[in-house]
Structure 1
Amino acid sequence: MSAGIILPRIMQIGAGASDAIGDVLGRLNCSRPLIITDPMMVQLGYVDRLQQQLQAKALVADVFANTVPEPTVASIMAGVDQVQRGDYDCIIALGGGSPIDSAKAIAILGRHGGTMRDYKFPRQVDEPGLPLIAIPTTAGTGSEATRFTIITDEHNDEKMLCAGLGFMPVAALIDYSLTLSLPPRTTADTGIDALTHAMEAYVSRKANAYSDSQAMAAMRLLGPHLRRAYHDGADKQAREAMMLGSTLAGIAFSNASVALVHGMSRPIGAFFHVPHGLSNAMLLPSVTAHSIPAAPERYAECARLIGVAGPADDTATANDKLLAELTALNDELQVPTPAQFGIDRAHFMSVTEEMARQALDSGSPGNNPRIPTRDDIVALYRALW
């Protein structure tokens, strides 16, 4: 059985990769870019630096800096309005997963119109939007190399998964030096997000030989370096490994799909505004424990790849070590429980049925080695408390 593989047309990887933006636009025959970013990128001076690099190539870029964490329909439509008022031939997404996901949606809606819900999964959005060049500044989402975006419908607290070739950036400039300023909390949340991507791609029912190769490489990079990057943000070797691992994990899950952790994570983010990487981290140990019986050898290999089990460990021992490591990682990186995050218990328990419905509707739980029922998901949510 063959697998269809989708990648950005251009990938520039390594320190200083973002400096190539002018040359990349030239190769794509683009000359009127709109930069889509967030206020922090403006404050840190990254937007000014990018504009200076473009000016050196006689290119002028406008800026839309009003993206929000966990992007909403309203925040997307503000960007779409600017695109439709302008004369742009491409979009440059600068920032973490939220600006890049926002830019993906704006690139499609800006060209084709309609509402965000029109593009919700299970529709496959394969028509191209405005060409998108992604420059990630976090090592986590892998959004620079995926065919997905997730946008929250704030009217009904639903995170809508949107998928298809149209959401794949045409170019990705993967510059780990842009992550050196990340604070520990962001490093932790995005790093565990990347690890979740790699693990879920590897155990997914849609895994294939190509996605396996990317997921395995990602786990070998992420496992030994996540703690190092968290404790010492100036550790360039760790930052470089995390950035490459994040991109490889993004490629893996874009071509194999994520599974139950992500399916359950999105509703937590939508209802309680928990950052995506953090909600993944909350869920990863318990969902892994739930899923291991259906793919014990695969999970045991995850333990070996991230470096917590050795070749002499049998499957059961490796899986015990994997679960111990995921719990220890959350403890060391100070991942809170829903209660510690400040979520009201009664509210959380009252929406578990609806969160389970939204999780199943996203399609991701169907890729899990152990396919859950709605009751299974409700029980996992309640145990998470």
Structure 2
Amino acid sequence: MSSTIILPSTNLLGKDCLEKALDIIQQQGFTKALIVTDAVLNQIGLVAEVTKQLEDRQISFEIYDGTQPNPTIDNVTQGLESLVNHDCDLIISIGGGSPHDCAKGIALVATNGGHISDYEGINKATEAPFPLIAINTTAGTASEMTMFSVITDEERHIKMAIVDQKVTPLISVNDPNLMLAMPSSLTAATGMDALTHAIEAYVSVAANPITDTVALKAISLISQYLPICVNDGNNLEAREQMAYAQFMAGMAFNNALLGYVHAMAHQLGATYHLPHGVCNAVLLPHVQRFNASTNPEKFADIATAMGRDISGLSPEAASLLAIEAMEELSAKVGIPATLSELGVCANDIDKLSVNTLEDVCCLTNPRQATKQEIAMIFTAAM
């Protein structure tokens, strides 16, 4: 089976790389940017760190900061209006997954026309997107470098997964200086999202030697550095290592895709507006317990990457250690243990299960499930 490796053409990582990114924008002749972000990042002054440097380079800008934590169709529509009305020639997303996903939606519709829901599914766009530079402030979603955009359709109560090479940003920026402001709860949630990306990609049926290599390294780094970042948010070295880890996890799932953890978490996010990373963290061990029998050797690798000693154990026994390590890391960084604690209602499990099986992320899960089996996993996570 052939493999395709998709990435932005330029990826800047490491402390102070923001300046280099803005130099590139200036060199390429862009004159006016639409900044897509959220109100909190604007209020705490993080956006100003970028806009000041734009001003220094005589690049004007307009700010759209209406992005919701689970960006909506309405957010894309409003951002697109702002792009057109202010005659911008570039989009800059600043934030975590939500602003990046919103900006990707705007960029796609700006050049392809129609409505964002027209692009739900895989590779529906025909034109390259509007130029987009994604400046990341969280170590988790990897949306700054992937071909995924998840937009909430509030009327249908679903999250639309848009998987399209054409939503890949031109440039991704991971400067850990911009991640120091992340509160510990967000650090934990986004870090567990990155761990989920790496694990789902590693056990995916579409995995290849490249995705396997970066996924395992990401799992190892996250296991080591996420607790440090949660306990000491100003540890720049740990933040930088998490920035690399989430980027590698993004490389892995952007090319090997995901599985049932994400398919199920998308339904919880659409129904209850819960934080995506928290949903992933709660579901992760339950889904992998379901998957483990398909390839216990791979789960033994995960156990080793998470710091477990598997010497003398069968792959089946080692795979149980991997699942135990997932649960322990989640607890260590303060994630609730059950869906009940998040307010999920048992009466909704049937509908959640039906919608899960319609999610594109199901396709590459290593073990295919019936609706009843998905419902059993939801129930186990309650």
| TM-score class normalised by the smaller sequence | over 0.9
| Equivalent residue letter for 2:173 | L
CA distance in 1 between counterparts of 2:196 and 2:28 reads 33
Match in the other structure for 2:189: 189
User: What pairs up with 1:69-108 in 2 under 5 angstroms?
Assistant: 69-108=69-108
Query: Runs of 5+ in structure 2 lacking a partner?
Result: none
CA distance in 2 between counterparts of 1:312 and 1:175 reads 42
How high is the sequence identity, in percent, across the aligned residues? 35
The offset of 1:317, in angstroms, is: 3.2
CA 1:349/1:6 → structure 2, altered by over 3 Å: closer, same or farther? same
Other structure's SS at 1:151 match: strand
Match in the other structure for 1:242: 242
Deviations 1:310-349 (A, max 9, x none): 4554413321221211222222222222221233xxxx33
Within the alignment, does 1:373 sit opposite 2:374 as a pair? no
The offset of 1:360, in angstroms, is: 1.5
Match in the other structure for 1:53: 53
CA 1:124/1:209 → structure 2, altered by over 3 Å: closer, same or farther? farther
Q: Identify the range of structure 1 (140-149 vs 368-377) with the bigger mean alpha-carbon deviation.
A: 368-377
Match in the other structure for 1:16: 16
Match in the other structure for 2:118: 118
Name the count of aligned residue pairs.
381
The offset of 1:37, in angstroms, is: 0.6
Other structure's SS at 1:329 match: helix
Match in the other structure for 1:219: 219
CA distance in 1 between counterparts of 2:157 and 2:193 reads 21
Equivalent residues of 1:32, 1:60 under 8 A apart: yes
Other structure's SS at 2:335 match: coil
CA distance in 1 between counterparts of 2:356 and 2:28 reads 38
CA distance in 1 between counterparts of 2:124 and 2:9 reads 20
Match in the other structure for 1:261: 261
Other structure's SS at 1:141 match: coil
Deviations 1:107-131 (A, max 9, x none): 1112222222110014543531111
CA distance in 2 between counterparts of 1:127 and 1:310 reads 49
Other structure's SS at 2:357 match: helix
CA distance in 1 between counterparts of 2:69 and 2:186 reads 12
Q: Identify the range of structure 1 (91-100 vs 218-227) with the bigger mean alpha-carbon deviation.
A: 218-227
CA 1:22/1:239 → structure 2, altered by over 3 Å: closer, same or farther? closer
User: What pairs up with 1:337-356 in 2 under 5 angstroms?
Assistant: 337-343=338-344, 348-356=345-353
| Equivalent residue letter for 1:257 | L
| Equivalent residue letter for 1:356 | S
Equivalent residues of 2:303, 2:322 under 8 A apart: yes
Deviations 1:204-227 (A, max 9, x none): 001112211221221121111111
CA distance in 2 between counterparts of 1:377 and 1:64 reads 38
Other structure's SS at 1:361 match: coil
Equivalent residues of 1:3, 1:208 under 8 A apart: yes
CA distance in 1 between counterparts of 2:234 and 2:331 reads 22
User: What pairs up with 1:151-300 in 2 under 5 angstroms?
Assistant: 151-300=151-300
Q: Identify the range of structure 1 (188-197 vs 237-246) with the bigger mean alpha-carbon deviation.
A: 237-246
Match in the other structure for 2:32: 32
Q: Identify the range of structure 1 (334-343 vs 127-136) with the bigger mean alpha-carbon deviation.
A: 334-343
| Equivalent residue letter for 1:20 | K
Equivalent residues of 2:111, 2:127 under 8 A apart: no
- TM-score, normalization by structure 2: 0.96
The offset of 1:28, in angstroms, is: 3.7
CA distance in 2 between counterparts of 1:143 and 1:193 reads 11
Other structure's SS at 1:61 match: strand
Other structure's SS at 1:190 match: helix
Deviations 1:331-385 (A, max 9, x none): 2222222221233xxxx33332222222221121221111111111111112221
CA distance in 1 between counterparts of 2:33 and 2:236 reads 31
CA distance in 1 between counterparts of 2:310 and 2:29 reads 50
The offset of 1:11, in angstroms, is: 1.1
Deviations 1:5-46 (A, max 9, x none): 111111111001112232121344422211111112112212
TM-align CA RMSD = 1.5
Q: Identify the range of structure 1 (74-83 vs 156-165) with the bigger mean alpha-carbon deviation.
A: 74-83
The offset of 1:253, in angstroms, is: 0.3
Equivalent residues of 2:142, 2:194 under 8 A apart: yes
